[in-house]
């Protein structure tokens, strides 16, 4: 499987996440078990894949809205992988107000997805009134920086609407 090529040099934890994310894997008990091991992971209510032009490419609207995260969705992974050359990143919502920051689960997921895709992405997070973009700053796998945006991206209002 071609995504396996990016697996060298990463830890067992990331490997397990990627195995849960990976295109040949389903969304079964492995993921549930992994989720329980995480602490305080903010759940993704809605999300959108944004292309390099800033245009929404795919709306990620989990069925049931009980809360989910990227590795739960085979469909989302397929979109990311298929469009990996033309996507700028992925945006998701967090509940509440103020400048949002990534949860531990967010960061490990961002890292695993980027390693599997072989490229870095922008990870926007929108609260009810603010948007921040999270990017890898290195050097460690989980070294991500959060930059609050002063101007909302064009798709944010729709993302918030779809999160309700």
Residue ranges binding Zn ion (CB under 5 A) = 42, 106
Tell the residue number behind the tokens 């894997």, with chain if given.
25
Q: Return the exposure string of 8-44: e unless at least 16 CB atoms fall within 10 Å of the residue's CB, then b.
A: eebeeebebbbbbbbeeeebeeebeebbeeeeebbbb
Nearer to Zn ion, 72 or 106 (CB): 106
CB of 67 to Zn ion, least distance (A): 10
Nearer to Zn ion, 42 or 132 (CB): 42
Residues whose CB falls within 8 Å of the CB of residue 20, separated by 6 or more in sequence, listed in order: 27, 30, 31, 34, 71
CB of 42 to Zn ion, least distance (A): 4
CB of 103 to Zn ion, least distance (A): 5
89 vs 12: CA distance, rounded Å: 25
151 vs 83: CA distance, rounded Å: 26
CB of 34 to Zn ion, least distance (A): 15
**What is the chain's alpha carbon radius of gyration, rounded to the nearest angstrom?**
15
Nearer to Zn ion, 14 or 106 (CB): 106
Nearer to Zn ion, 46 or 116 (CB): 46
């Amino acid at each position: 499987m071609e995504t396996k090529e990016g697996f060298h040099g990463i830890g067992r934890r990331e490997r397990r996440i990627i195995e849960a994310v990976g295109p040949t894997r389903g969304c079964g008990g492995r993921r549930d078990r992994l989720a329980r091991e995480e602490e305080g992971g903010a759940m993704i209510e809605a999300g959108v894949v944004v292309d390099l032009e800033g245009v929404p490419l795919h709306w990620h609207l989990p069925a049931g809205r009980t809360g989910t995260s990227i590795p739960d969705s085979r469909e989302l992974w397929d979109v990311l992988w298929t469009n990996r050359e033309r996507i700028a990143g992925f945006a998701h919502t967090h509940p509440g107000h103020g400048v949002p920051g990534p949860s531990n689960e967010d960061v490990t997921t961002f890292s695993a997805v980027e390693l599997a895709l072989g490229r870095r992405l922008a990870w926007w997070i929108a609260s009810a009134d603010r948007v921040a973009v999270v990017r890898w700053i290195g050097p460690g796998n989980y070294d991500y920086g959060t930059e609050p945006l002063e101007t909302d991206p064009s798709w944010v209002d729709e993302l918030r609407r779809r999160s309700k």
